[in-house]
């Protein structure tokens, strides 16, 4: 069974204080690992897709990396507007069936000014 575990559950940082969020996964053949951002009262919004170990993607202050067992979302010099819940999801290789994603519980990030 595909599983995704995110840590920590919540993280509070000062503006400019860099840190990382962790996503550990177990999947029988990884098709893709996804990072989403979710603001309160809204649906998740796509950030990155990573496909293979060693791959990295960047967007503004965010950088996502991938190993064979986990992914990290690095946040460099964050600003208050980076406050959100960050969700990680995996998509397994399937011969048949829809390309379903399995989500972790998310990390709630708060950046204090």
Partner 1 sequence: DAGITQSPRYKITETGRQVTLMCHQTWSHSYMFWYRQDLGHGLRLIYYSAAADITDKGEVPDGYVVSRSKTENFPLTLESATRSQTSVYFCASMDSGANVLTFGAGSRLTVL
Give me the residues that bind partner 1 (CB under 8 A), please.
31-32, 34, 36, 41-46, 49, 87, 89, 91, 97-106
Tell me whether residue 19 is exposed, middle or buried, using C-beta atoms within 10 angstroms of its C-beta: 0 to 12, 13 to 18, 19 or more. middle
Question: In the complex, what is the shortest distance from the CB of residue 89 to partner 1, in angstroms, rounded to a whole number?
Answer: 8
Q: Tell me the closest approach of the beta carbon of residue 58 to partner 1, in angstroms.
A: 17
**Cα first-last separation, the chain:** 41
Cβ nearer to partner 1, comparing 78 with 106: 106
Q: Hunting for tokens 């379903």 — which residue is that?
A: 100
Q: How far is the CB of 21 from partner 1 (least distance, A)?
A: 14
User: Please, which residue, 25 or 34, has the CB nearer to partner 1?
Assistant: 34
CB 28 within 8 A of CB 109: no
């Amino acid at each position: 069974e595909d599983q995704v575990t995110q840590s920590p559950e919540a993280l509070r940082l000062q503006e400019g204080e860099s840190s990382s969020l962790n996503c550990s996964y177990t999947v029988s053949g990884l098709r893709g690992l996804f990072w989403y951002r979710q603001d309160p009262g809204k649906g998740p919004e796509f950030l990155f897709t990573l496909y293979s170990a060693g791959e990295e993607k960047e967007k503004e202050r965010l950088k996502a990396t991938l190993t064979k067992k986990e992914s990290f979302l690095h946040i460099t010099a964050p600003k208050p507007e980076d406050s959100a819940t960050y969700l990680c999801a995996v998509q397994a290789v399937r011969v048949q069936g829809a390309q379903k994603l399995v989500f972790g519980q998310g990390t709630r990030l708060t950046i204090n000014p």
